Amino acid sequence: MKARMGLLLLAGISIVSIFAPALAPQDPLTLNVPARFQPPGAGHWLGTDEFGRDVLSRLLYGGRVSLLVAGSAVMVAAIVGTACGLVAGFSGGWLDHLALLAADVILAFPGILLALLLVALAGPSLAALVVSISIIYTPIFLRLVRNLTLHLREADFVLACRLLGVRRRIVLFGEIFPNVIAPVAAQAVTCFGWALIAETALSFLGLGAQPPAPSWGSMLASARDYLDFSASNAIVPACAIFLTVWAANRTAQDLQKERVE
């Protein structure tokens, strides 16, 4: 499988983050001020931060938060967008126009600014973060599935079902839906990388996980003031974000190539 490289890396990062409590060498919230800014070594493999907390432990626990928020947001966006796209594309008429209008209104705003506004209005919390990020990516799935449904509803097997009097619900979810799963999955992997960047940016601004809970974005935010003392505290979460986004993009590209082939 050509998508194996990116998929394995993405799966590995996810598994390590999920099992952070078992893998983390120390409690990520334990303060040890005398040991602040220690370089990487035997006691602290990735060093310590400005409060003497173990960077590796915070990286693992922070990955749980960042990946959970990004994954949950994409899942919500994919479910809502796919359902709306199926109904809009199959029904047509005013319902289709209304769905497209709603999608265009959301897409008219820069995504990160819209998410920033929504989180600021709702207050900083992980739930608000998930809802805000899912809103900005729902139109992408809606448009994708709607366009695929417009094409599939004219296919011979769908026309045959409609001529035989098969219920619309069965045609929609039994015949059309299975044919849009693969494109939606590829799009979901791509959006996961984008959602992770959005989560990191909002957490960097203090609108995600609240201190002392770690996340990759908040780790970057706290490390920016101490770059002269310990640049590795910023480099470590930045590399984790880069590798995760790269793995997601690589997986999505290879999945799309496999579909074409």
In a domain, 1, yes or no: no
Assign residue 97 the CATH number of its domain.
1.10.3720.10
Average pLDDT, the chain: 88
User: Cis ω on the peptide bond leading into residue 212 (within 30° of 0)?
Assistant: yes
What number is the average pLDDT over the span 100-125?
Answer: 87
Rounded to two decimals, the pTM is 0.90
In a domain, 216, yes or no: yes
For residue 5, what is the DSSP state?
H
Q: Quick one: pLDDT at residue 261? A: 57
In a domain, 242, yes or no: yes
pLDDT exceeds cutoff 90 at 79: yes
| DSSP annotation string for 63-93 | HHHHHHHHHHHHHHHHHHHHHHHHHHHHH-H
In a domain, 5, yes or no: no
**Gyration radius of the chain over CA positions:** 22
What number is the average pLDDT over the span 207-222?
Answer: 88
Q: Are 80 and 69 contacting, i.e. CB atoms less than 8 angstroms apart?
A: no
Residues 6+ apart with CB under 8 A from 35: 44, 48, 52
Query: What is the Cα–Cα distance from 80 to 144, expressed in whole angstroms?
Result: 12
Q: What are phi and psi of 54, to 5 degrees?
A: -70, 120
In a domain, 13, yes or no: no
The two structure tokens encoding residue 104? 């265009």
- How sure is the predictor about 260, in pLDDT bands with cuts at 50, 70 and 90? low
In a domain, 166, yes or no: yes
In a domain, 126, yes or no: yes
Helices 126-152 and 55-91 cross at an angle (nearest 10°) of: 40
In a domain, 9, yes or no: no
Quickly tell me which residue has 């499988």 as its tokens.
1
The two structure tokens encoding residue 9? 């890396």
What number is the average pLDDT over the span 89-99?
Answer: 88
Q: Quick one: pLDDT at residue 182? A: 87
Helices 181-204 and 126-152 cross at an angle (nearest 10°) of: 150
Domain count, the chain: 1
Domain coverage including residue 77: 52-260
Query: What is the Cα–Cα distance from 147 to 164, expressed in whole angstroms?
Result: 25
What number is the average pLDDT over the span 235-246?
Answer: 94
